[in-house]
Amino acid sequence: MTRTALAMIEAHDGGLKAVTRSLSERALARAALIDAAIARGEDPGPFAGVPFGVKDLFDVEGQSTTAGAAMRRDAPAALRDAEAIGRLQASGAILVATLNMDEFAYGFATINAAFGTTRNPHDPARLAGGSSGGSAAAVAAGMLPLTLGSDTNGSIRVPAGLCGVYGLKPTHGGLPMDGVFPFVDSFDDIGPFATSVGDLRLAWEILGGSAAEAIAAPRVATLGGWFGRNVAPELGQAIAQIGEALGGIPTVELPNVDVARSAAFLMTAVEGGTRHLPELRTRAREFDPQTRDRLIAGALMPGSAYRAAERFRDWFRVQAERLFETHDVLIAPSAGVEAPLIADPMIDIDGARVPARAHLGIHTQPISFIGLPVIAAPMLRPGKLPLGIQLIGRPGAEATLFAIAETLEAAGLTGFAPPEM
């Protein structure tokens, strides 16, 4: 499997730009150890021999962690693997590549000035989404069966939706962040991408996921209001079809979602800008200009604005808790549209044309804002551009989300349809 994955990357990644570094020597050495263990009659683990890749902000021993930035290509090599890599390797999985991303994870498009724009395997003229675009595209293209990404404001869920694969953003703090280059501590999480609910769930369990038992008969609702706007008609129809398949479900609303998104934007800018302030003062010209300008704007934001956003987050979290008193799973779009064209990286929001790089996360940011767990599930659309949904639960409710995802997959409503490459 390892040689096949490396050959697939060699054959296909030149046109996709999903991979930033192939780790062939390390991967083949690890594969030999797995083969030897099997020959001795040992069980290497549930992911024995399965190749995987990681977004290029996970520490890989002996490699510079670029976080998608040209200015970090010569950063000191990591002394050890990130904790998440170690856990997957302990299950028998084999790391074969690091994967492309938006610089410092600040974007929803994986338009990267240093490593190239990651292209969507379903249509290479289109974006893969971001900031974990390389991770999603590598799975969608069949180069790797499993990858890891990170999600701050939608960086797993947006590319999962645009590339037609499954992705998980766990309850905030639910999976190990040790050895992951940070962006916004308030929102950052890691999670896996896969082509099936079963593989996604197994990866989550191996990474350390733990939750209460799944609710036997979960109460499901569709999120309306903000989450019903700026959504492709086909996706709206697909969500309605899911509701019918589940026996008819209500539509509910969260209040002031527009304010929540604005507050999430503000907190992201302030925390990101503050984190990178030393380099902004001394190496500003080495940043991607689009990333640099947003970070500078955040660093200049007054502390009073950040504190106001935190207070609003406390209020907004209470509103979500009230919804979860009567509903266990909420359904919403991941990316509300099909993947935008690379030549015209814009989307329409309320009648205005805006940059996809900053705005593809309009339906994901308010959920990150309060740390809720989400499974991004692809609608089953063979031969068509992908569209996806979010299955959202209360903190710690991943098991219930997986149960609903399995139900929808078994019914043929969601699932991976490989691109016609």
Q: In this structure, are strands 94-99 and 51-55 parallel, antiparallel, or unpaired?
A: parallel
What's the N-to-C CA distance of the chain in angstroms?
20
Which DSSP string corresponds to 201-238? HHHHHHHT---PPPPSS--EEEE-GGGGSS--HHHHHH
| C-beta atoms surrounding 393 within 10 Å | 25
Nearest-angstrom CA–CA distance, 239 and 379:
9
Cβ(110)–Cβ(133) below 8 Å: yes
**Alpha helices (H) in 81-129, listed in sequence order:** 83-90
Closest of 192, 211, 196, 197 to residue 88, by C-alpha: 192
Nearest-angstrom CA–CA distance, 314 and 255:
13
Verify whether residue 55 is a known catalytic residue.
yes
| Number of helices followed by number of strands (H, E) in the chain | 14, 17
**The one catalytic residue among 132, 135, 150, 155:** 155
Encoded tokens for 175: 């999976």
- Tokens 């994955």 -> residue: 5
**The one catalytic residue among 131, 132, 135, 334:** 131
Close Cβ partners of 325 (under 8 Å, ≥ 6 residues apart): none
Phi, psi for 157 (deg, rounded to 5): -70, -40
Nearest-angstrom CA–CA distance, 234 and 241:
10
Nearest-angstrom CA–CA distance, 118 and 84:
24
| C-beta atoms surrounding 349 within 10 Å | 15
Beta strands, E only, 10-145: 19-22, 51-55, 94-99, 111-112, 116-117, 119-120, 123-127
Annotated catalytic residues are 55, 131, 155
